[in-house]
Structure 1
Amino acid sequence: MFTATLIAAGGLAAGDISAATDRLAQAGCAPGPSRWIDEAVAVDLIFARDPDAARRVLEGAFARTDVIVQPRVARAKALLVADMDSTMITVECIDELADYAGIKPQIAAVTDAAMRGELDFAAALDARVALLAGLDEGAIDRCLAERVAIMPGAVALVRTMRARGVRCVLVSGGFTRFAEPVAAQIGFDLAIANVLEVADGRLTGRVAKPIVGSDTKRATLDREIAARGIAPAASLAVGDGANDLAMIRAAGLGVAYHAKPIVADAAAARIDHGDLTALLYAQGIARRDWITAE
């Protein structure tokens, strides 16, 4: 059995549920009952077969509505592995840091190309960090305070999952000086990221090796699955860029969040309209059960 969860940024009506059920029936998916998670916002549609067909007929069928199709087994996850930049926070830290050096457009163009999968991530990171050589170390703390904002829904997602005993790991191709305070603020168990080298109070233009990239993200997912003794199906990975693809493909539920096209097209699930609380609805968790503060 499978579940198609419809999550509406603009609201759902009973007629939408009927229309969705009809679409599933016409596609041969053998629909069963539906169940509101939160009325007019998120609903589960149960069906018996052909999840690929269900995605085809439901995605894009309803305005400002995300659709997540998955098996009913292991729907509640035991592990979350998440990207940071443009996923758990609203910015790309290296681009904002570059603004303090007066070179944001130059670096942001490279970041965007790397996230679209057009450049080797490690080489692109080395090249961008090299351009920051000589920047005052204090710019890091200023950037963190002035530019870094938590993505809507991030706190509710992580704190609700942790309250249910879920292991939550932030793994970023960005930098520890951002990832560690961001992880602490949101409520992650662990943060993994790259280390910017600093000497005499200034950036050296180098990042410590090995670089945290796609392979590290996938390896982190695999390691955490093994350490917890869970099935891969019980894992959830979320990210937006090309260096997130390996972990998104390997997770039980891999989600492209407001992602670059290469990621959105490859992921089995995508969130284009809602915020990160959509991943709670994907697990069948209603708003009344969310934890939004300590």
Structure 2
Amino acid sequence: MKSELLFSGEPLALDVLIVGAGPAGLTAGMYLARYRRRVRIVHDGSSRALWVPRSRNVPGFPDGIFGSDLIARMSEHAVRYGGEIAEGRVVEIARRENDEGFRARLDSGATVDARGLILATGVDTNLAKLDGGDHRTAVRDGVLRYCPICDGYEHSRERIAVLGSDLHGAAEAMFLRQYSNDVTLIPKWQVALTDAQRAELEASKVDVLEGRVLRLDATGEAMLVTLEGETLPRRFDILYPAFGSAPRSELAAMLGRLTDPNGCLPFNAYSDGLFPGVYAAGDVVAGLDQISVAIGQGAMAATRLHNWLREQEGHVMADQK
């Protein structure tokens, strides 16, 4: 089927609707297609994997792979086995009458019906605002990064700054200290740390700067940070904003699922599910936000949902139930 059928106005019967086309959603779609399920992946084009400049910790790619290239490969993989991928933003999900599956409504007004759901909606990263230079270009040039686990190794022995006022920023700075002897924690306004936390940073030889940040300017080779009361900007090889992210868990909430205090879905959402016939995978799930983790969770969610559908169809051994 071609993706334009999604917008024909006639809800199509699917085995599974997957929301999100990042590593988790695309893996789940490929697995379900190979299970010979009628599966459609609907996405809004905002997977944050798309703007990963080059990831060197995806297994099998020791020289690294651009996020957009990885998503293109994974998309082709899912489609090759019969999965459908269509662009559109899902704005509402609800149970159908008599609990016969689920209905999703898109921003276009079209609806999609499916027997099961996988929510791989990801997160929105809280970005730094640059006063000079282009944000996407700064990420591509390697002077602005958001994932120390992903690329801290590549910035070993460089001059690293972490922008963040609270414990999250302090923990990130201490994490990066294993890669470089020159790590500085810079507040957005004031450092919200206890004396004990400051002592921990000092013991780890992480510098803490006081003073309000006035400007952030990206060049092709460095990040310049101007602080209140200083005439010249400070130069760093790379800046890590530690502002956290916001899980895109709104669709799950429409089905009645409570999230944790940070808005994430439960860690076991990819294995035990949220509700009968509803699973979640990837960054929207509490835990480690990594491509390899999302891939594993996508495979698990797809397999668990496939087996749940088999139970509904009476196609499992009685002793397996």
TM over 0.5: same fold? no
Higher helix share: 1
Q: Which has the larger radius of gyration?
A: 2
TM-score, normalised via structure 2 length? 0.28
